[in-house]
Amino acid sequence: MTNTDQLVLTGPVGATASFNGKEYLYFGGTNYLGFADRIELQQGAVEAVKKYGSSFSASRETSGTGLLHLALERKLAQFKGTENACIYASGYLGNQILLSVLANPGDVVICDEWAHPSILEAIPRTVKEVRFYGHHDLEELAKLVRGLDRAIIALNGVETGTGEIAPLNEVLDILPEGDFQILVDDCHATGILGEHGRGTPEHYEIRSPNVYQTETMSKALGSFGGFIAGSKEFCDRIRETATTYIGSTPLPPAVLGACLAAVDLVMRESHLRQRLRDNAEYAASKLTNLGFQASFYGTPILFISNLDESGAKKLHLRLREAGIIVPFVHYPTSDSPGRLRLVVTATHTKEEIDRLCNGLKHA
Ligand SMILES: Cc1ncc(COP(=O)(O)O)c(C=O)c1O
């Protein structure tokens, strides 16, 4: 295989996955809890399609709200310990939906420089100013908020590339008195962080009405679609004012059936979070012993920092020849160099992680 050969999935993703018709050990993607090939999600999807067909074919505001949408919103609220939740087509759209509700004309929006593109593209044109602080640089953030009495701070809860957890507790501590709201894109934290898997705020035991999370069901929850959980009043505000929510076709039955099963599982199988953490910690310590600088932040994304772009690409290809996939990622829209995106899941066995580490050693 050359490095231009595209990996095309020819089966479901799990601890192993088949690409281009060949089975590999798989350490990529975002199927952190291993839900994407669980029978419960498949059955949920099939039963929902049998009962409701393939699409609701209308927006929620007209005739497109189904029983399954209401059931999923209730179940997500239960999972999150909130009064209500609001679902929509993707995690990417969540930041547009949230910012359209939070931001007033003339507001200042302050972003971590690594904020996901879905945040940056979502900032309404009517805001007065967008400011950036260095990644997790709290001193710079403190300078940017000085003198303000209102602003929206936007950041990623868990970094998709490095697995770091945002210092949300410290961000809250440095804010002056005033009307400050924090958008946490928690797409990589849902199901992973916190005692109940409720994300970055729960990880720090933060219960602040000024912290808003945008979340996804397409990563740890193994299905698809975005959601925001909160008070009934806030979710109704989204339903009444967010044009992205109002003007788009809602999640279809198959996805809703799978999501309902996934939220049941994430509430019931809390041991998977511990297994995920143990697996990631085990892999990070083995890799460190082999001479890789593998950072472990308590999330399943392991960042190997002592590899340049060409080293990462070579390693990816050699591992691929050895039957192991660790994706080499280089987004065409990003200035940062390409790198390995190494993800351990809750369903990997210690033997599979040992095979990965041996593969890396020989590669
Ligand atoms: C931080 C972050 N936010 C949002 C998204 C988009 O979520 P979704 O895939 O559900 O649209 C992604 C990646 O997919 C992401 O990494």
Whether residues 209 and 246 share a domain: the answer is yes
Rounded-to-integer distance, Cα 12 and Cα 3, Å: 23
Q: Take residue 322 and report the two structure tokens written for it.
A: 């050895």
Strand partners, 267: none
**Which pLDDT value is given to residue 363?**
87
CA–CA distances in Å: residue 292 to residues 227, 286, 287, 288, 338: 37, 9, 5, 5, 17
Please give the distance, rounded to the nearest whole angstrom, from the Cα atom of residue 351 to the centre of ligand 1: 30
Are residues 261 and 288 both part of a single domain?
no
Q: How confident is the model at residue 131 (pLDDT cuts 50, 70, 90)?
A: very high
Q: Which of 202, 235, 268 is the last residue of a domain?
A: 268
CA of 165 to the centre of ligand 1 (A): 16
Lowest mean per-residue pLDDT among 66-75, 265-274, 330-339: 330-339
CA distances from 154 to 151, 170, 212, 233, 335 (A): 10, 14, 10, 22, 21
Residue 311's CATH number: 3.90.1150.10
Q: Are residues 224 and 291 in the same domain?
A: no
Residue 4, domain member (yes or no): no
Kindly indicate the confidence band of residue 51, based on its pLDDT and cuts at 50, 70 and 90: very high
Statement to judge: residues 264 and 277 lie in one domain: no
Q: Per-residue confidence at 55, pLDDT binned at 50, 70, 90?
A: very high
pLDDT of residue 331: 75
186 and 276, same domain (yes or no): no
Domain tally for the chain? 2
Using the mean position of ligand 1's atoms as its centre, give its distance from the Cα of residue 363 in Å: 31
Closest among 321, 327, 329, 330 to 363, alpha carbons compared: 321
Same domain, 138 and 255: yes
Q: Is 193 left (phi over 0), alpha (psi -120 to 50) or beta?
A: beta
Provide the CA 222 distance to its chain's centre, in angstroms: 11
- 320 and 342 both lie in a single domain: yes
Interval 207-251: pLDDT, tens = 999 999 999 999 999 999 999 999 999 999 999 999 999 999 999
Residue 201 within a domain = yes
The CATH number given to whatever domain includes residue 90 is 3.40.640.10
* 96 CB near ligand 1 (under 6 Å): no
User: What is d(CA 274, CA 64) in angstroms, rounded to the nearest whole number?
Assistant: 39
Is the domain of 230 the same as that of 298? no
Instruction: Looking at the structure, tell me whether residues 150 and 278 fall in a common domain.
Output: no
What residue numbers bound the domain in which 353 lies?
Answer: 9-33+272-362
Burial of 207 (0-12, 13-18, 19+ CB in 10 A): exposed
Asked if residue 18 has its Cβ within 6 Å of ligand 1, the reply is no
Please state the atom number of ligand 1 nearest to the C-alpha of residue 156. Answer: 1
- Which residue shows structure tokens 């890396």? 360
Predicted confidence at residue 307, as pLDDT, reads 84
CB 113 within 8 A of CB 135: yes
Substitution candidate for ligand 1 out of 116, 121, 156, 164 with most atoms within 8 A of CB:
116
Co-location of 252 and 117 in the same domain: yes
